[in-house]
Structure formats: structure tokens, C-alpha cells
């Protein structure tokens, strides 16, 4: 049996017999990074640059750019909605698995399947209601300072909900194929397919 990364790290010497400090970096693996994670990272960087520009114009040039506060707010919304899809894809949003340990396995399986169904239903309803809201307000409602329609912001929210819906269906299929979910076996992860 191969040692775990923690066991191998504990067994290797960090300081050698001659007193030198020796370490090796682990290889960085981006193979499990989802497209929505890259998109959320891009929104986060644009948000960071916007806030930095706001800081420079306000405190260095003493002439604050008015648009930065509003755009930063909308970029934060984008980071949250697209970033929430990462949690759905990894299936690591907050959940309580305590009761699943004390109930019969069949009942736990039924309840876990119900949770998957409710999650899919919630995100499907969120997609439908966001589309309805976008159609209702149209392009007439504009942002306060920047002359753009608010539907741009709601479109990003819609994108986030649509990705969450897609990922929740994927998670439900994985749970069905495996025969258990993270609720039933908290030690498992979505990478244990």
C-alpha cells in the first residue's frame, strides 16, 4: 500500500544532518478545476483591479472615479453567483449528515435522493424566475452611474443559476451511479467517482 501524502511528508527530513533546509514543492494539478472556477477567478481579478483603481483615484489622485464602486458591487455579485457553482460541482455546500448516521441505510438513501431532487428543483425554479424577471424589467432599467442595462447583472446571475442547475444534475447522476451520496458517507468526495 502506498503511503499517503501526509505520511510521506512526515517521514522525509526537512532539516538534513548537515543543518540544511530541504523541501520539495508538490506539483500543481489544475485538472479538476471546473470552467466556472476559472470564470469566477476572472471576475475576481477584474474586481480586484477595479478596487485597486478606485483606491488609486481616491487616495493618490484625490479624485475618485465614481463608476468603480457600482461596478465593484456588480463584480462581487458575479463572483458569488458563479463561484457558488463551484460548491455545487464539488458538492460541499453546508449540509448536516448527523441524522444519516443514525437512520437505516434505505431511509438515508431515499432522503439523500430527495435532497438531490430538491436541489435540482430549486435551481430550476431560480433559472425560470430569473428569466421571468429579466423579461419583465427588459432593458429599460439602467445602472445608476454606468449607462448599461441591469439585465447584464441579472444575466450573470442567470448564468450562475444555470451552471448550478447543470452541476446539481451531474451530482445527482454521480450519486445514483455510486449508490450513495456525501450525506450518507461524509468521508467520500466528488472526486471518488
Name the CA dihedral angle for 68, 73, 78, 80, rounded to a multiple of 10 degrees: 140
Is 190 domain-assigned? Answer: no
Is 184 domain-assigned? Answer: no
Is 152 domain-assigned? Answer: yes
User: Distance from CA of residue 26 to its chain's centroid?
Assistant: 24
Percentage of the chain with pLDDT > 90?
Answer: 53
Domain assignment of residue 80, given as a range: 5-178
Calculate mean pLDDT across residues 162-177: 94
CA atoms lying within 13 Å on the CB side of residue 153: 19
pLDDT at 7 over 90: no
User: Distance from CA of residue 19 to its chain's centroid?
Assistant: 43
Cell of 87: 460548491
pLDDT of 9 reads 54
pLDDT of 185 reads 77
pLDDT of 192 reads 55
The string of pLDDT tens digits covering residues 44-71 is: 999 999 999 999 999 999 888 889 999 9
pLDDT class of 179 with cuts at 50, 70, 90: confident
Give the separation between CA 132 and CA 126, rounded to whole angstroms: 10
Is 187 domain-assigned? Answer: no
The total domain count for the chain is 1
Instruction: State if pTM tops 0.95.
Output: no
Is 192 domain-assigned? Answer: no
CB atoms within 10 A of CB 62: 7
The string of pLDDT tens digits covering residues 87-135 is: 998 888 777 777 888 888 899 889 989 999 999 999 999 999 999 999 9
pLDDT class of 190 with cuts at 50, 70, 90: low
Is 183 domain-assigned? Answer: no
Is 186 domain-assigned? Answer: no
pLDDT at 8 over 70: no
Calculate mean pLDDT across residues 125-152: 91
The string of pLDDT tens digits covering residues 13-50 is: 667 777 777 677 788 888 888 999 999 999 999 999 99
Helices (H), 56-150: 67-90, 98-101, 105-137
Is 185 domain-assigned? Answer: no
pLDDT at 6 over 60: no
pLDDT at 12 over 70: no
Q: Which residue has the higher pLDDT, 3 or 173?
A: 173
The DSSP output letter for 183 is T
Give the separation between CA 155 and CA 131, rounded to whole angstroms: 8
Amino acid at each position: 500500500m502506498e503511503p499517503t501524502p501526509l505520511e510521506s511528508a512526515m517521514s522525509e527530513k526537512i532539516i538534513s544532518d548537515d543543518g540544511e533546509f530541504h523541501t520539495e514543492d508538490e506539483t500543481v494539478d489544475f485538472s479538476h478545476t471546473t470552467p466556472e472556477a476559472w470564470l469566477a477567478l476572472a471576475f475576481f481579478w477584474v474586481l480586484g483591479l477595479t478596487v485597486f483603481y478606485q483606491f488609486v483615484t481616491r487616495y493618490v489622485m484625490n479624485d475618485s472615479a465614481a463608476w468603480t464602486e457600482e461596478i465593484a458591487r456588480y463584480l462581487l455579485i458575479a463572483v458569488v453567483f458563479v463561484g457558488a457553482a463551484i460548491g455545487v460541482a464539488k458538492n460541499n455546500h453546508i449540509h448536516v449528515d448527523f441524522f444519516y448516521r443514525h437512520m437505516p441505510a434505505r431511509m438515508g438513501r431515499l432522503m439523500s435522493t430527495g435532497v438531490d431532487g430538491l436541489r435540482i428543483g430549486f435551481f430550476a425554479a431560480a433559472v425560470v424566475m430569473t428569466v421571468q424577471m429579466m423579461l419583465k424589467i427588459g432593458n429599460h432599467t439602467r445602472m445608476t452611474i454606468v449607462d448599461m442595462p441591469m439585465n447584464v447583472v441579472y444575466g450573470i446571475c442567470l448564468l450562475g443559476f444555470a451552471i448550478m442547475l447543470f452541476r446539481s444534475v451531474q451530482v445527482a447522476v454521480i450519486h445514483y451511479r455510486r449508490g450513495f451520496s456525501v450525506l450518507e458517507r461524509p468521508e467520500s468526495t466528488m472526486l471518488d467517482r
